[in-house]
Amino acid sequence: MPLDHETVTRIARLARIRLTQEVQEKTLPGLNSILGFVEQLSSINTEGVEPMVSASATTLRLREDRVDDGHCRDAVLANAPESFAGFFVVPKVVE
């Protein structure tokens, strides 16, 4: 089923991407082209098939539980659009 504008607005909101009306108009046909194309998978029988979650066959490694990073506050903040006194600055979130 093709997407409508209402659904695109909802997805864009979930993705936290603001779309202007004009951009949304331009975006819709491409999204529907892709979703129409991938629809073909529904006809493939995957009963009893385990989903493949990674191309790597190994299991995740465990490491010793000890601190191996840190003390790099200034490096962490170096690319922040706005920082103050060693903190990231964001708009007020609590009234």
Binding site for other proteins (CB under 8 A): 3, 7-8, 11-20, 23, 26-27, 30-31, 33-35, 37-42, 44, 46, 49-58, 60-61, 63, 72, 75-76, 78-82, 88, 90-93
* 8 close to 19: Cβ distance less than 8 angstroms: yes
Q: How far is the CB of 72 from other proteins (least distance, A)?
A: 7
Identity of residue 78:
A
Structure tokens at 87: 């903190």
Structure tokens at 55: 């191309």
Q: How far is the CB of 27 from other proteins (least distance, A)?
A: 6
Q: How far is the C-alpha of 26 from the C-alpha of 46, rounded, in Å?
A: 35
Q: How far is the CB of 11 from other proteins (least distance, A)?
A: 5
Structure tokens at 25: 């108009």
Count of all residues that appear for the chain in the document:
95
Closer Cβ to other proteins, 85 or 93, answer by number: 93
